[in-house]
Amino acid sequence: MSPVQRQVLVLLAGGAKDGAIARRLNLSERSVRRQVEALAQRSGASNRFTLALAAIRIGWLPAGH
């Protein structure tokens, strides 16, 4: 996982929307959506919520994030 993907994942797991993540990381919303899609595909998640759960299960994020 790239450093940008990790930052996107942390913010996503915290409930941030794509626009907020983009502003926080100085990225375009399209870039954020691509990162989320890549992470979802890599984890087998079908949506943002299951992506956050999968990230904890896989060990990408610590529990309680």
Q: How far apart are CA 28 and CA 37, in angstroms?
A: 14
Amino acid 1: pLDDT: 87
pLDDT of residue 62: 84
Band (pLDDT 50/70/90 cuts) for residue 64 is: low
Q: What is the pTM of this model?
A: 0.87
If phi > 0 it is left, if psi is from -120 to 50 it is alpha, else beta; for residue 60 that is: alpha
Give the tens place of pLDDT for each residue, 4-57: 999 999 999 999 999 999 999 999 999 999 999 999 999 999 999 999 999 999
Q: Tell the burial category of 32 from Cβ atoms under 10 Å away from its Cβ (0-12, 13-18, 19+).
A: buried
Count CB atoms within 10 A of the CB of residue 46: 11
DSSP 47: S
- The reported pLDDT for the residue numbered 63 is 76
